Every structure is written in structure tokens, then in C-alpha cells.
């Protein structure tokens, strides 16, 4: 869906975001091209560009002279123009990252925990937020994004088993975290966050629509629709493919079913097989110390994943399926290779030039980058622009013009 501005005065905050988003997606790009793409006059775009340059969000550079006249000025994002803190909660601990406006991770920290309870976790949040903020003490902090595992509020899946968090039922993470912070807080499911991060900063930039398979402690997925948004469903649980019962009479799952996908394809599935051979074994060293176990696991897991891939393709018809998560590229590449040959599906189009499976370019930090993207999008993207805000809100609350001055929460 094309981004289009409005020439009505009350739409100025929205227009700033349209222009900023166009620069992010199309950079390097000149003022005239921006005006043509968003449907605004060159004069209006030039005024907005001056505002964005003064605020440090964008910067320009002239092309090399090619003839008569002044060479055009190309605009790009200023990576140091803003920062967001990403937090990722998992059953094995909490991770944090400081991410700049261009999606580059400035620094990370992982805090391992044996029991990730709300009482133990919120103090860890505060310590990690302080540590990440200290990496750029004079930087413009746009907000805090928190990625939580799912599915949410499903009794049989959300609160039992090794892939879920116990004690978090009914906890309003965003609201509670916002009470202790002056920055806006944006909380969401890890599947939506990781797909958004891939769309903004990873391999997803090259595709209009893709499906993301997240290889975490469990297994999940998320689909992006044509305008780059993430399909999350009525209750935010769309994409929980880990609980697809694909193996009749298979391994029992904590959800109460048997043969669920994530019992075979997940970090937990591989870890259980490693621990059965060597209680001290880790996934990080599995390829060098227990390659035989890894290969045996792939031989069992790949056929199940192959069936899931055909199901995803037939349901969503994506340009590609991106695979990433809490595993090394080498391990995921080995798993992807094990799925060949892929099953027949609607993805087998004549003249197809894109691969059916694509390895994430965000690596193990995909969710952290995605959690920060929740905050960056929440503060700056056109979708969350202040198009219908009152005059006072447009001048005082627009972080593009003044920086985030008040606490806000987005679920």
C-alpha cells in the first residue's frame, strides 16, 4: 500500500512520518522523488525535511557532479538520530539491546534466570534499561519495546511447559513498566516483534509479504500482509504454529495434544536430545561436540518442518518463508538443508525467482531488534502518527518535534 500524505494543516505530524518512512524505505532519495511518491508538493516536503534535519533525524549528501547545474542532494536516515531499548523475555532469562534509528544494535546484555517470575523480572527490566540508556547518555530515547512469548491468555498453552512463563497471567507488562519509566512503553508478542524487525531491518525489506518462522525455546510464526503490517489475529495469537499437531500419535505436548510441531522443531526439542546424551551439552556447542546428535535430530525434525512449510505456503502464499531465532546460522542452515526437497504447494509458481526459504539476516538478535522496532514504529511510523490529535497534542507530544515528554502505553 502506497504511503500518501495530506495537504491539510492538521495532518502535519502525519506528513512528517510519511516523509520519514519514505526516506527509511527508499534512501538514498531526493526531495522531488519523495514528493512524487507521497503526493505532497516539493515545497511541503522541503519544509518537512528542514524540520527533520534540525531535529537530527535525517541527513543529506550531494551526488558527484555529472554535468551542468548543482547535483541533487540525497537524503538518508541519521542512525544516531534516535534510539530505542528492546527487551526480550524468555523462559531462560531476559535480554536487552539498544538499537539506533537504522536498526543497528549498539549494545546488548543477557541476564540469565532460573525462574522468570514477574517479581524477579521487573527489577531486572529496570537494571537493563538503565544499562542500555547509559550507552548513549545524550541520545534521543524514543521508547522501550518489550517482546513477550506467546500464546497469550490460553490456559492450555500459555502457563505450562518448558516454553512458557509461569506466574504472568493477568500481568499488564506495558502498563506496569510504564509506571516506572518516563519513556513510552510498547509491549507485544515476540512473534509480531520479530516479524516487524525483519520487515524494517532484515531480509523482509526485500519482500512485499513473507512468513517468519521463529526458532526459539518453542516454535512460532508470523505473517506480514501486503502493506508490511504483521497479521496477529483477534487476540494476538495468530502464527502459533508450534502447536500444530502434525505427527499422529506423536510425542505428548504440555498443551494436551500429541505430535505438536514444536516438540520436534525447537530449541527445547534439540536440547532434550542433547541432554539425554550429555547433561552438560549446550546448543551453542552442539555442532562441534555432538554433531551426531544434531544430525539425528534433523533427520527426525526436518520431515515435520517440511509438512509445516507446505501448510504455511498454502495458507498464506508468501513470497518467501524467513527462518531465524535463537540458534546459530550454521545450525539453521543445516536444518533448512534437511527440508529438501520441499513438498508441492502453491509456492511452486512458474518463473519463480525468490527462494521458498530464506535465512534471517538478523541472526540471534532478531527479537531484540524487533522489540526495539515496536518502540521505533510506535513513536515514528505513519500508522501511529498524531493525525487526529488536538493542537496541544500535535505540538507537545510529537516526538519528532520535541522528543517523548509523556508516558504512553501501547498494547
What burial class does residue 26 get, using C-beta atoms within 10 Å of its C-beta: 0-12 exposed, 13-18 middle, 19+ buried? middle
Rounded Cα distance between 143 and 108, Å, is: 16
pLDDT in tens, 249-274: 999 998 889 999 999 999 999 999 99
Alpha helices, DSSP H, located in 227-285: 267-277
Rounded Cα distance between 373 and 368, Å, is: 8
Rounded Cα distance between 403 and 57, Å, is: 11
In terms of pLDDT, which residue wins out, 137 or 114? 137
Question: What is the share, in percent, of the chain residues with pLDDT greater than 70?
Answer: 84
In terms of pLDDT, which residue wins out, 190 or 399? 190
Single out the residue of 204, 146, 154 nearest to residue 178, CA to CA. 146
SS3 of residue 236 by DSSP: coil
Single out the residue of 338, 137, 318 nearest to residue 239, CA to CA. 318
pLDDT attached to residue 333: 97
DSSP string spanning 288-321?
Answer: HH-HHHHHHHHHHHHHHHHHHHHHHHHHH--SEE
Residue 406, pLDDT above cutoff 50: no
Query: Are 106 and 372 in contact, with CB atoms under 8 Å apart?
Result: no
The least confident of 78-87, 371-380, 401-410 is: 401-410
What mean pLDDT do residues 170-180 have?
90
pLDDT attached to residue 78: 93
In terms of pLDDT, which residue wins out, 164 or 51? 51
Distance, CA of 369 to chain centre? 6
pLDDT in tens, 213-226: 999 888 988 888 76
In terms of pLDDT, which residue wins out, 157 or 96? 96
What mean pLDDT do residues 110-136 have?
94
Amino acid at each position: 500500500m502506497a504511503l500518501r500524505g495530506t495537504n491539510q494543516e492538521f495532518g502535519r505530524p502525519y506528513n512528517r512520518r510519511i516523509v520519514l518512512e519514505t526516506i527509511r524505505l527508499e534512501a538514498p532519495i531526493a526531495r522531488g522523488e519523495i514528493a512524487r511518491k507521497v503526493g505532497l508538493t516539493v515545497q511541503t516536503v522541503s519544509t518537512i525535511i528542514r524540520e527533520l534535519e534540525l531535529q537530527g533525524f535525517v541527513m543529506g549528501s550531494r551526488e558527484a557532479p555529472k554535468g551542468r547545474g548543482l547535483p541533487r542532494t540525497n537524503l538518508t536516515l541519521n542512525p544516531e538520530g534516535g534510539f530505542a531499548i528492546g527487551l526480550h523475555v524468555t523462559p531462560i532469562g531476559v535480554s536487552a539491546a539498544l538499537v539506533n534509528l537504522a536498526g543497528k544494535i549498539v549494545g546488548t546484555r543477557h541476564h540469565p534466570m532460573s525462574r522468570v517470575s514477574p517479581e524477579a523480572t521487573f527489577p531486572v527490566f529496570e537494571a537493563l534499561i538503565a544499562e542500555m540508556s547509559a550507552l548513549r547518555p545524550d541520545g534521543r530515547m524514543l521508547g522501550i519495546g518489550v517482546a513477550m512469548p506467546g500464546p497469550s491468555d490460553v490456559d492450555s498453552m500459555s502457563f505450562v511447559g518448558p516454553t512458557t512463563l509461569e506466574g504472568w497471567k493477568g500481568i499488564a507488562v506495558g502498563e506496569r513498566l510504564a509506571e516506572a519509566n518516563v519513556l513510552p512503553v510498547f509491549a507485544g508478542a515476540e512473534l509480531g516483534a520479530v516479524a516487524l524487525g525483519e520487515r524494517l531491518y532484515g531480509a523482509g525489506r526485500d519482500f512485499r509479504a513473507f512468513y517468519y518462522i521463529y526458532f526459539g525455546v518453542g516454535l512460532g510464526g508470523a505473517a506480514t500482509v501486503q502493506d508490511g503490517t504483521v497479521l496477529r489475529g483477534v487476540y494476538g495469537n495468530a502464527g502459533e504454529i508450534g502447536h500444530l499437531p502434525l505427527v499422529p500419535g506423536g510425542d505428548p505436548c504440555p498443551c494436551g495434544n500429541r505430535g505438536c510441531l514444536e516438540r520436534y522443531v525447537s530449541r527445547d526439542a534439540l536440547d532434550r536430545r542433547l541432554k539425554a546424551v550429555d547433561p552438560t551439552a549446550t546448543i551453542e556447542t552442539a555442532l562441534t561436540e555432538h554433531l551426531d546428535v544434531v544430525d539425528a535430530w534433523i533427520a527426525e525434525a526436518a520431515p515435520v518442518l517440511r509438512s509445516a512449510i507446505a501448510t504455511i505456503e498454502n495458507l498464506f502464499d508468501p513470497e518467501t518463508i524467513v527462518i531465524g531465532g535463537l540458534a546459530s546460522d550454521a545450525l539453521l542452515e543445516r536444518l533448512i538443508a534437511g527440508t529438501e526437497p520441499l513438498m508441492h504447494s502453491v509456492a511452486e509458481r512458474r518463473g519463480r525467482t525468490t527462494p521458498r526459504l530464506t535465512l534471517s539476516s538478523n541472526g540471534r538478535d532478531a527479537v531484540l531488534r524487533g522489540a526495539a522496532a515496536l518502540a521505533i514504529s510506535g513513536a515514528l511510523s505513519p500508522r501511529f502518527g498524531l493525525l487526529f490529535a488536538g493542537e496541544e497534542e500535535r505540538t507537545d507530544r510529537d516526538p519528532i518535534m520535541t522528543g517523548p515528554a509523556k508516558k504512553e502505553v501501547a498494547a
